[in-house]
């Protein structure tokens, strides 16, 4: 429903959801499916100043970045790999505006899709800015500047997150951009600086490196991908080095200066183990993390509990200190992942309906959509050693996979970690082709407490990339067929 339909009105709902990203729209739809009357409030406007659903993920996050990752990967394949298949090209070029237009088309299709899903499930969409005035009241300032109140039995906060700005290099949306601006370069920058070697920095750096940018990634930490299993991160570091991503660890950005003579260049100043350094770029992407969007969301009298970083404090069921107000997704504790927020949205909806649904926070899969992809779930070796857990591992390289070799995509490996006594799978870590999809097989297995032997005894189709998962599981107990087995303890 549009702002005109609620102008000057107060309306009552069972549930009001604030935010229509993956956490919010999923919560709204599931609540409606369970028989609640639902309104979902969204303030997002696209670059054409049109109010749209989908939040960060669909508009300037997961979806558009993956569209550009796919386009740039196809370009790189055409440039480097087609000849291996006997395919020759007379002339290869990249039309950046056309690539961006395709990205926008994908985004529009999905955001329009949410509109259709709301209509099909009888969720009332309201475009405007929300503020929670009381436990049951949400004030709306709509797109026309008119104000009205919504009354709700329950309120679900799903306002998401936004990029962190850093004082030494403030965003100007021209030369210095955040992750949103990095999706809109109208040409390939010759020299690109990326501040932050996390998921966002690596993905966006990969996009433009494939298209010809000379990319340097400055990371303040002295370790690369510290949350990833160390064996995997070492493997990834070598692969990225071959791809031309120049990743400088322990490099803390301290300031910047613009190029001389009015040039559209920027000098980034940073300190590393050698002292003070400076490097010149044509564009810089700041990708040092995200923070929750909770500013101006609550009336001062509400007294909802927030942590010092602005996250809404919730329990394991995403309930706040106010019993009928819940919060899900990026705005609460835990990794900022769309699928985590979606599952929390479903959990809250079902608990409102009296179900005992829970989210298994121990089995949240993580993925970095570079190429090869990096994906993991559960514990890594370092964490298990710290916890004093006795474990065993099995690995299988994609270089020994017939399907990967046939596709000329054989970098990386699958690694499975299992309990040394029970054989129960404790973690899986993959770098390689289709890692995100392969990992899901283990996520499902771990949800049902599977052992490495269970996976080893399961029949896998041949030839398939998933055979690497099968062989890694076999290798845990020294039974791999297509590689030599390491002697087990």
Pick the catalytic residue from 462, 470, 479, 482.
462
DSSP state for residue 213 in the 8-state scheme: -
CA 487/CA 489 separation, integer angstroms: 7
Q: Which of 284, 286, 280, 285 is nearest to 263 (CA)?
A: 280
Structure tokens at 447: 């949800």
30, 345 Cβ separation under 8 angstroms: yes
- Cα–Cα distance between 282 and 263 in angstroms, integer? 9
Token code pair at residue 62: 């997961």
Contact 239, 411 (CB under 8 A): yes
Structure-derived torsion over alpha carbons of residues 425, 426, 430, 436, reported in degrees to the nearest 10: 80
Q: Evaluate whether 206 touches 66 at the Cβ level (below 8 Å).
A: no
In three-state form (DSSP H/G/I as H, E/B as E, the rest C), the secondary structure along 356-413 is CCCCCHHHCCEEECCCCEEEEEECCHHHHHHHCCCEEEEEEEHHHCHHHHHCCCCCCE
3-state secondary structure of 57: helix
The closest of 373, 369, 389, 371 to 381, measured between CA atoms, is: 389
Helix residue spans in 354-451 (DSSP H):
381-387, 402-406, 435-447
Dist CA 316 CA 121 (whole Å)? 27
Burial of 236 (0-12, 13-18, 19+ CB in 10 A): buried
Q: Which of the 8 DSSP states describes residue 485?
A: P
Catalytic status, residue 482: no
Which are the contacts of 324, defined by CB distance < 8 A and separation ≥ 6? 135, 136, 153, 154, 155
Q: Helix, strand, or coil here: 217? A: strand
Q: Hunting for tokens 């097989």 — which residue is that? A: 441
Residue 480: phi and psi, rounded to 5, are -60, 145
Query: Residues with catalytic annotation?
Result: 462
């Amino acid at each position: 429903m549009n702002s005109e339909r609620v102008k000057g009105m107060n309306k009552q709902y069972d549930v009001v959801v604030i935010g229509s990203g993956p956490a919010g729209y999923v919560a709204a739809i599931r609540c409606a499916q369970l028989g609640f009357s639902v309104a979902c409030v969204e303030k997002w406007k696209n670059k054409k100043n049109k109010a749209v659903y989908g939040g960060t993920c669909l508009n300037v996050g997961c979806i558009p970045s993956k569209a550009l990752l796919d386009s740039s990967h196809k370009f790189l394949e055409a440039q480097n790999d087609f000849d291996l298949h006997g395919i020759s090209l007379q002339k290869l070029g990249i039309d950046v505006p056309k690539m961006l237009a395709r990205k926008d088309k994908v985004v529009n299709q999905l955001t329009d899709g949410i509109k259709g899903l709301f209509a099909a499930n009888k969720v009332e969409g309201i475009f405007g800015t929300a503020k929670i005035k009381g436990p049951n009241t949400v004030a709306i300032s709509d797109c026309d500047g008119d104000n009205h109140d919504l009354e709700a039995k329950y309120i679900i906060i799903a306002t998401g997150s936004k990029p962190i700005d850093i004082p030494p290099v403030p965003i100007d949306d021209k030369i210095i951009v955040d992750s949103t601006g990095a999706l809109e370069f109208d040409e390939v920058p010759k020299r690109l600086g990326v501040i932050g070697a996390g998921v966002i920095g690596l993905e966006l750096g990969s996009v433009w490196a494939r298209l010809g940018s000379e990319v340097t990634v400055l990371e303040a930490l002295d370790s690369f991908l510290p949350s990833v299993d160390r064996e995997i991160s070492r493997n990834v570091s070598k692969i990225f080095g071959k791809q031309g991503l120049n990743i400088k660890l322990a490099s803390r950005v301290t300031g910047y200066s613009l190029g001389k003579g009015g040039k559209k260049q920027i000098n980034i100043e940073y300190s590393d183990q050698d002292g003070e350094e400076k490097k010149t770029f044509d564009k810089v992407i700041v990708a040092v993390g995200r923070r929750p969007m909770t500013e101006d969301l609550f009336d001062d009298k509400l007294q909802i509990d927030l942590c010092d970083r602005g996250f809404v404090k919730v329990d394991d069921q995403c309930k706040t200190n106010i019993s009928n107000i819940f919060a899900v997704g990026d705005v609460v504790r835990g990794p900022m992942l769309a699928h985590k927020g979606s599952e929390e949205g479903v959990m809250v909806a079902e608990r409102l309906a009296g179900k005992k649904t829970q989210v298994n926070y121990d089995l949240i899969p993580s993925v970095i959509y570079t190429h090869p992809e990096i994906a993991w779930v559960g514990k890594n070796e370092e964490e298990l050693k710290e916890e004093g857990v006795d474990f065993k591992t099995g690995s299988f390289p994609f270089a020994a996979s017939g399907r990967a070799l046939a596709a000329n995509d054989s970098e990386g490996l699958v690694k499975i970690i299992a309990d040394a006594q029970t054989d129960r799978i404790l973690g899986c870590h993959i770098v390689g082709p289709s890692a995100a999809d392969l990992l899901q097989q283990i996520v499902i297995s771990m949800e049902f407490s599977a052992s490495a032997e269970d996976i080893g005894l399961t029949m896998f189709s041949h030839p398939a990339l998933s055979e690497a998962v099968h062989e890694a599981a076999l290798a845990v107990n020294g039974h791999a067929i297509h590689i030599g087995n390491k002697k087990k303890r």
